[in-house]
Amino acid sequence: MTILLSGSTGFLGSYLLKLFIRDGYKVIALKRSTSNISRIDKFLNSIVIYDIDKIELSQIFKNHKINIVVNTVINYGRKDNKLTSVLDTNLMFNLNLLEVSIASNIKAFVNADTLLDRRINAYALSKAQFVDWMKFLSNKNTKMINIKIEHMYGLEDDENKFIYWLVNKLEQNVEKIDLTSGVQKRDFIYIDDIVNAYKIIIGNIDKFSNYEEFELGSGHSIEVKKFVKKIYEEIYNKQVLNTKLNFGVIPYRDNENMNIEVNLDKILNLGWKPKVFFEEGIKRIIEGKS
Give pLDDT tens digits along the chain (290 positions).
Answer: 999 999 999 999 999 999 999 999 999 999 999 999 999 999 999 999 999 999 999 999 999 999 999 999 999 987 667 899 999 999 999 999 999 999 999 999 999 999 999 999 999 999 999 999 999 999 878 999 999 999 999 999 998 899 999 999 999 999 999 999 999 999 999 999 999 999 999 999 999 999 999 999 999 999 999 999 999 999 999 999 999 999 999 999 988 999 999 999 999 999 999 999 999 999 999 998 65
Sequence-separated (6 or more) residues with CB below 8 Å from residue 132 = none
E strand residue ranges, the chain? 2-6, 26-31, 48-51, 68-71, 108-114, 143-149, 151-153, 176-178, 185-186, 188-190, 211-216, 222-223, 244-246
**Hey, where are the domains in the chain?**
2-149
Q: What is the reported pLDDT for 80?
A: 62
- Coil vs helix vs strand at 199: helix
DSSP code at position 242: -
**What is the architecture, at CATH level 2, of domain 2-149?**
3-Layer(aba) Sandwich (3.40)
Q: How far apart are CA 65 and CA 272, in angstroms?
A: 30
Q: How far apart are CA 221 and CA 259, in angstroms?
A: 8
State the amino acid at position 165 in one-letter form: W
Q: What is the reported pLDDT for 77?
A: 85
State the amino acid at position 227 in one-letter form: F
